[in-house]
Amino acid sequence: MRHNTGDMPGTLYIVATPIGNLEDITPRALRVLREVEVIACEDTRRTRVLLNHFGIKTRTISYHEHNERESAAGLGKLLEGGKNVAMVSDAGTPLISDPGFRVVNAAIESGITVVPIPGPTAFVAALVASGLPSDQFFFAGFLPARANARRAHLEDLAAIQATLVFYEAPHRIAAALSDAVDVLGNREAAVARELTKIHEEIARGNLRELAKRFSQSTATRGEIVLLISGASESAFESTGERELSSMRLIDRVRQLERDGLDSKLALKKAARELGLKRAEAYRLIVAQKNRRSR
């Protein structure tokens, strides 16, 4: 690593750290953390546990989503003054559903060299062990916390033929799985939690099975990755055809309801008349409601 006396700008290192098992840190990451002048941490207390374990005494400063704009300016001054800085998150690779983008972007705009130090990322570990196709995947970060927004987001992703990958909070995983069944259908899926830790678990099955399993669990804990198989080539019509099907279905359901049928029977009858499976008809209704509620 190059050290200088301030006549040249420093280097910003984006350093991946373990997501659980401390043995997963790389020798290169340890060397960089020892040699830089400053380590920028999402939470200095959590990072200090890692640093103490490996006997690293480097000075730490804090950056997080609430002070990222100010941190970008402060770190920029250090880098422009010739200091080498390592950026770490609480766990895994910085910037992946974590703060840090403004810091990196500001450094690039200032002509600072940015060097990635690769290492663990939770969604990659989950994907390769899930049993779902990994040749193409779509990482969508955290699902929205509110049910309507979550369903709308899932509907936006429904036609993607790559494996869908999300982060999710333990107290919302059951609701997320239930919504996924309603919006996407009963696809194959996996729920990975506490990866590389003592209680690591990867639950595999279809969405309905997993929704039932996690709805019955009263103490789901840990960091969670939700993976859902992508749409099959024949599963969806073109966007225009789907929109037309939705309009026909809704019009027919309304007509049957005016004729005296309750909503469930009306949907069942309309689906049969239009040659749709009941589950697909329900998804079309849900998708239309989600679009109107945005």
Q: Which of 101, 120, 139 is the last residue of a domain?
A: 120
State yes or no: pLDDT of 235 exceeds 70.
no
Q: In this structure, is residue 59 part of a structural domain?
A: yes
**Domain identity same for 145 and 113:** no
Instruction: Return the minimum-mean-pLDDT range out of 74-78, 190-194, 247-251.
Output: 247-251
Q: What is residue 83's predicted lDDT score, i.e. its pLDDT? A: 96
Does position 278 have pLDDT exceeding 60, yes or no?
A: yes
- Residue-wise pLDDT tens digits, 12-69: 999 999 999 999 999 999 999 999 999 999 999 999 999 999 999 999 999 877 777 7
Q: Could you tell me which of 54, 55, 56, 49 has the C-alpha nearest to residue 25?
A: 54
Judgement on whether residues 54 and 101 belong to the same structural domain of the protein: yes
233: confidence class by pLDDT, cuts 50, 70, 90: low
Token pair belonging to 77: 């001054």
Asked if residue 265 belongs to a domain, the reply is: yes
Q: Distance between CA 216 and CA 27 in Å, rounded?
A: 42
pLDDT at 290: 62
**What phi-psi label fits residue 97: left (phi over 0), alpha (psi between -120 and 50 degrees) or beta?**
left
Q: How far apart are CA 12 and CA 2, in angstroms?
A: 12
Asked if residue 92 and residue 16 are part of one domain, the reply reads yes
- Residues 88-94, mean pLDDT to the nearest whole number: 95
Helix axes 147-157, 173-184, angle to 10 degrees: 50
Q: Which domain CATH number covers 48?
A: 3.40.1010.10
142's CB contacts (< 8 A; 6+ apart) are 97, 166, 167, 168, 169
Q: Which of 228, 261, 277 is the last residue of a domain?
A: 228
Q: What's the whole-model pTM score?
A: 0.78
More confident residue, 216 or 145: 145
Whether 105 is in a domain gets the answer yes
Instruction: Identify the domain boundary among 174, 193, 228.
Output: 228
Per-residue pLDDT reduced to its tens digit, 159-168: 899 999 999 9
* Predicted confidence (pLDDT) at residue 273 exceeds the cutoff of 90: no
Mean pLDDT lowest among 126-135, 238-247, 268-277:
238-247
Residue 39 shares a structural domain with residue 130: no
Task: Supply the range of the domain harboring residue 79.
Answer: 11-120
Same domain? 49 vs 141: no
**How far is residue 8's CA from residue 4's CA, in Å, rounded to a whole number?**
7
Q: Could you report the per-residue pLDDT of 148-196, keeping only the tens digit for each?
A: 999 989 988 988 999 999 999 999 999 999 999 998 999 999 999 999 9
**Percentage of the chain with pLDDT > 90?**
64
Mean pLDDT is lowest, of 37-51, 118-132, 234-248, for 234-248
For residue 113, being part of any structural domain is answered with: yes
Q: Do the domain assignments include residue 4? A: no
Q: Is the pLDDT of residue 9 over 80?
A: yes
* Residues 82-98, mean pLDDT to the nearest whole number: 95
| Tokens 């640093």 -> residue | 51
CA-to-CA distance for 150 and 43, rounded, in angstroms? Answer: 28
The more confidently predicted of residues 93 and 66 is: 93
**Domains: count for the chain:** 3
The verdict on residue 2 lying in a domain is no
Q: What whole-number percentage of the chain has pLDDT above 70? A: 91
Torsion of CA 78, 83, 86, 89, to 10 degrees: -20
In-domain check, residue 234: no
The string of DSSP letters for 207-247 reads: HHHHHHHHHS-S---S-EEEEEPPPPTTT---HHHHHHHHH
